[in-house]
Amino acid sequence: MKKFISILLLVGVISLTLVGCSGGNSAESKTISFADAGWDSIRFHNAIAGTIAEELWGYSWSEVSGSTPVTHQGLLSGEIDVHMEIWSANIASYDEDLENGRFQLLSSNFDDNNQGVYVPRYVIEGDAERGIEASAPDLQYLWDLKEYSDVFQDDEDPSMGRMYGAIPGWEADQLLNAQFTYHGLDENFIYFRPGSDAALATAITSAYEKGEPIAAYYWEPTWLLGMYDMVLLETKPYDPESFRTGETGFPPVDVTVGASNDFAGNEENAELIAFLSKYETSSALTSEGLAYMQDTGADYVDTAKWFLTQHSELLDQWLEAEDAQAIKDFLNN
Amino acid sequence: MDWLYNFPLKIAIDLESIDNAVKGFSVKYDGFFSIIKKGLSSFVSSINDVLNFIPWFVLIIFVVIVTWRISGKVRNGLLYGLMLLLIGAVGLWTLMIETLSIIIASVIIALLLGFPIGILASASDRFDRIIRPILDTMQTMPVFVYLIPAMMLFGLGKPPAVIATTVYAIVPMIRLTNHGIRQIDKEVVEASLAFGSTKMQSLIKVQIPQALPTIMTGVNQTLMMAMSMVVTTSMIGASGLGMEVLIAVNRVEMGRGLISGIAVVIIAIILDRITQGLIQSSEVGSDGE
């Protein structure tokens, strides 16, 4: 009898599960998995592309999280369908993979971004409201830091200054380290590797909240630089001949949109791929979206909808006329 | 059918206020935490200085002799010495010293705190019941959850690395000290009390020596746990071998990752063998009594 009841229960559970599943998947669904490499702007672009794909062609979309190298591997292996922000310079094998056709390059999302060493504005100008005096008033160029090693004191070796470098393994880390030694900052500064994006952001956040001076690598567009008033230390403008030696500044990074071979090769996705191939924004536009999200506390999808109503000209640029109109009608409702 | 799959209860937690509380806390008590930060930092760097002061060949000879004495075989001693030599030969010696100093600092703190806590837990069932879930939390809570606040309070680098490593590695020390003392025969303890020793005397002269092999296993486990945090702590800016592994992994440089990964394994093996020897010698000691 006991056995009978447990079998009955089992059958009941299975049939309930089946009912539930079939309810969810009544329509034939096309899915996109976007890469979520861990920062805000990529999730924002995922939400824009995902919302449009969902509305026009009935895709359901999800995100796969991972670090920069992990999401890139995912794209190569086809577990990630679309990567909205491939920071090409931060992936060692990018050019090689592109050349060997291991993924499809669709478009260049933006390439007008800034990166480099930032200091909070109050370090240079002071902040009367918070009662912070300017501790490094003449700081303008990266090499000016040398004069202020006592301001940016290192925790472990108080005789040196500390400059927070880029995430270990990123191309930016090597280039910044080259600039660091080229300008002789290694004499009285320590190039401190923060280990991860989370650690770097925490270092900046906690220094800023305490009103302490900090000199740290960061990049735009990010919520962090949207939220805190930070100044980028200038370097000599980028020059392709000499940037590797560290004499001149960072090259602009081409942030591209890519799709996996399987996904791009599938005929069913042709319309979506055509749309993504025209996808182009800018660093300023992305920052605008992120700032809105930070101010209002809206989620990514709502921010994406708000963004598309503000910049409907982008829809005309990305989509066929009737599709663009369909999205506009959807947004206006 | 929706009610079957949608959760009926929703509690709105104000996450932002938690964020702000931590930020405000870190600003308000900045002075207090920077004292701890300075203390930890100088603790690690003095260990680092001591290790740096020892010439490389002295350290290798020391390892050869100790492992030889423990295993009783010259061959084993030479093998471990050779492995250590290998780390130096591939140019990872200074990084190894840096990693070792973080490990040693964390393990010392873990032993200093874990041993008395373990004894307390063995003496009081109530205390044991209270700390049990806390210990579980310390081992299973994803590190970054408490590392982010730790970094707000202690900055980046070695101080939060020592804290994270200690939190993770202290657990076996407490558990095995507790377990070691509890498993002693009741009769033995009663006999010692019957012969007129105080509770303290019974603890120090009878219970702890009896429990020593288990406690030493705790020391060994604490060391191994600390070793396993090497790469994780490099993600909060602790330099050393872990950072080398992290850079290699982020750049998909398999060779570099393998070499520095093997160096971590070698250190772990040598530390394991040495502390295994401590377990054996403490077993001999307790048998002799």
User: Do B164 and B232 form a contact (C-beta atoms < 8 A)?
Assistant: yes
At the fourth CATH level, which superfamily is domain A30-111+254-332? Periplasmic binding protein-like II (3.40.190.10)
* Residue whose tokens read 């009896």: B210
User: Do B110 and B172 form a contact (C-beta atoms < 8 A)?
Assistant: no
- B153 falls within a domain: yes
- HSE at residue B185, side-chain half, CA atoms within 13 A, is 4
* Residue spans per domain, chain A: 30-111+254-332, 115-245
The ipTM is 0.75
Q: Do A30-111+254-332 and A115-245 have matching folds?
A: yes
- Calpha distance B90→A171 (Å, rounded): 24
- B61 falls within a domain: no
Residues of chain A with pLDDT under 50: 23-27
Best of B239, B251, B256 to disrupt the A interface (most A CBs within 10 Å) is: B251
CB neighbours (10 Å) of residue B71? 17
| B243 in contact with chain A, both atoms CB, cutoff 8 A | yes
- Provide the pLDDT for residue B72: 84
Give the single-character DSSP code of A233.
P
Alpha-carbon dihedral B251, B257, B260, B264, rounded to 10 degrees? 120
Residue B127 has pLDDT above 90, yes or no: yes
| B37 in contact with chain A, both atoms CB, cutoff 8 A | yes
pLDDT (tens digit per residue) in B197-210: 888 888 888 888 88
- B166 falls within a domain: yes
Chain A contact set for B246 (CB, 8 A): 168-169, 195
Chain A contact set for B248 (CB, 8 A): 169
**In one letter, which amino acid is A225?**
L
Chain A contact set for B155 (CB, 8 A): 155, 203, 206
The distance of B156 to chain A (nearest Cα, Å) reads 7
- Provide the pLDDT for residue B285: 54
pTM, full prediction: 0.76
CA distance to A15, B1, B75, B129, per residue, from B6 (Å): 18, 9, 65, 36
pLDDT band at B280 (very low <50, low <70, confident <90, very high): confident
> B126 versus A198: which is more confidently predicted?
B126
- Calpha distance B110→B174 (Å, rounded): 9
- Calpha distance B197→A200 (Å, rounded): 57
User: Which tokens in the block code for residue B66?
Assistant: 């100790």
- B4 falls within a domain: no
User: Do A202 and B23 form a contact (C-beta atoms < 8 A)?
Assistant: no
The separation between CA A275 and the C-alpha centre of its own chain, rounded to angstroms, equals: 21
| B52 in contact with chain A, both atoms CB, cutoff 8 A | no
- B210 falls within a domain: yes
The distance of A187 to chain B (nearest Cα, Å) reads 19
- Calpha distance B111→B218 (Å, rounded): 9
CA distance to A197, B126, B178, per residue, from B123 (Å): 45, 9, 8
CA distance to A91, A94, A104, A148, B187, per residue, from A97 (Å): 10, 5, 10, 43, 71
CB neighbours (10 Å) of residue B18? 11
Report the CATH number at residue B220: 1.10.3720.10
- B159 falls within a domain: yes
pLDDT (tens digit per residue) in B181-196: 999 888 888 888 888 8
* Fold exhibited by the domain A115-245: D-Maltodextrin-Binding Protein; domain 2 (3.40.190)
User: Which tokens in the block code for residue A91?
Assistant: 């992936």
SS3 assignment, position A115: strand
- B82 falls within a domain: no
- In total, the C-beta contacts within 8 angstroms joining chain A to chain B are 92
| A103 membership: H or E segment, kind and range | strand A103-110
Among chain B residues, CA nearest to A192: B237
DSSP assignment string, A116-130: EEEEEHHHHH-BTTT
User: Exposed, middle or buried by CB within 10 Å (0-12, 13-18, 19+), for A89?
Assistant: buried
- Provide the pLDDT for residue B251: 76
- B8 falls within a domain: no
Q: Would the CB atoms of A205 and B26 count as touching at under 8 Å?
A: no
Closest to A283 (Cα-Cα) out of A325, A327, A326, A225: A225
Domain limits for position B207: 17-53+90-288
Sequence-ordered list of residues with C-beta below 8 angstroms from that of B82, at least 6 positions apart, any chain: none
Number of domains within chain B? 1
The separation between CA B102 and the C-alpha centre of its own chain, rounded to angstroms, equals: 10
Indicate the length of chain B as a whole number: 289
Residue B121 has pLDDT above 90, yes or no: yes
Indicate the pairing of strand A161-164 with strand A103-110: unpaired
